[in-house]
Amino acid sequence: MKAIQDAVTAYLEQTTGVRAVADRTRAAGIYPLLAVAVREDGTVLLDGGRQAEHTYRVSVTAVSDRNRDGNTALLAALPLLLLRGVPM
């Protein structure tokens, strides 16, 4: 899961120009900020238990400062970027 989180974090930071960090990382005073969290959502055993299919849930939280000086427009473009998907 750490590899997925690192890949999504790097992709978002590169394409948006907004600082992206792993969820629960302390990044005080840096705005705007994207926090990426990944958790396993389920596992299905296939082929008599010899293979497993894992489902992961990726959450992206956008954080802005109180003044929101230009941050709102920058973060508003985020949903369109996420709908394109993240190359792995």
CB neighbour list of residue 73: distance below 8 Å, 6 or more residues apart: none
Residue-wise pLDDT for 45-68, tens only, equals 998 888 999 999 988 888 877 776
Q: Are 7 and 88 in contact (CB under 8 A)?
A: yes
Q: Rounded to two decimals, what is the model's pTM?
A: 0.77
User: Residue 35's closest CA among 26, 43, 44?
Assistant: 26
Predicted local confidence at residue 81, as pLDDT: 81
